[in-house]
Amino acid sequence: MDTEFHAPAEPKHYEREPRGARRHEEPDPLKGAIAGFVGGLVGTWFMSEYQGMWSRWVDGEEPQSAGGRHDARDWEEKNEDDNANEQAAQAVARRTVGRELTEGELEVAAPLMHYAFGGSVSAAYGIFAEHAPWASGGVGTGFGTLVWVGADEIAMPVIGWSKPQRFPLRDHLQSFTSHLVFGLATELTRRGVRRLIR
């Protein structure tokens, strides 16, 4: 009786998709931008709430700004009695309407600047994540760190809207962790929105 010998089949190697990786096939920059923008709005809200909670817990109160908590950059308000969102809103007003904003106008414009920045930078992140899924590693904390370093630690001092080198370490920590919360909330929202708009 002849028996055929069969070599064992080669084990199949499946590449596992990283947890939370996108489930759609082709990158779509427009959908990535939309998902990122929505994520950035949500991330900005969570960031604002978190920093208010930090200020109440650590300092016993929140510093007051023109737009309340949602234009807040508490670490700046405590150290400079001003913040970059208000300064940006005033700069835009001077160039567009030729004058400074009133308190009432600033109350609306400063939070708009905060949310516009958060949404815009996150839209760019959403586009990038479409083409480079590794960018969303760390569930957005890498993105939040990049925004913190790029905006708070470099751009704001260069523009002249902040002097973080004068802030105590505790306020740098508040700023950094607020941006981690921003990145995390942005990324989780971006993923959810991107799944919805396949």
Residues 21-40 pLDDT 10s = 545 468 999 999 999 999 99
Radius of gyration of the chain (CA): 22
The most distant pair of C-alpha atoms in the chain lies apart, rounded to whole Å, by: 100
8 — phi, psi (to 5°)?
-60, 140
Listed in sequence order, the residues at least 6 apart from 163 whose beta carbon sits closer than 8 Å to its beta carbon are: 79, 80, 157
**Crossing angle (nearest 10°) for helices 103-131 and 29-59:** 130
pLDDT for res 28 = 95
pLDDT digits (tens, 9 = 90+) for 130-165: 999 899 989 999 999 999 999 988 888 898 887 877
pLDDT for res 17 = 47
What pTM does this model have? 0.81
Question: CB neighbours (10 Å) of residue 60?
Answer: 7
- Determine contact, residues 43/122, Cβ cutoff 8 Å: yes
The percentage of the chain sitting over the pLDDT mark of 90, rounded to a whole number, equals: 48
Q: How far apart are CA 17 and CA 20, in angstroms?
A: 8
- Determine contact, residues 36/125, Cβ cutoff 8 Å: yes
129 — phi, psi (to 5°)?
-65, -25
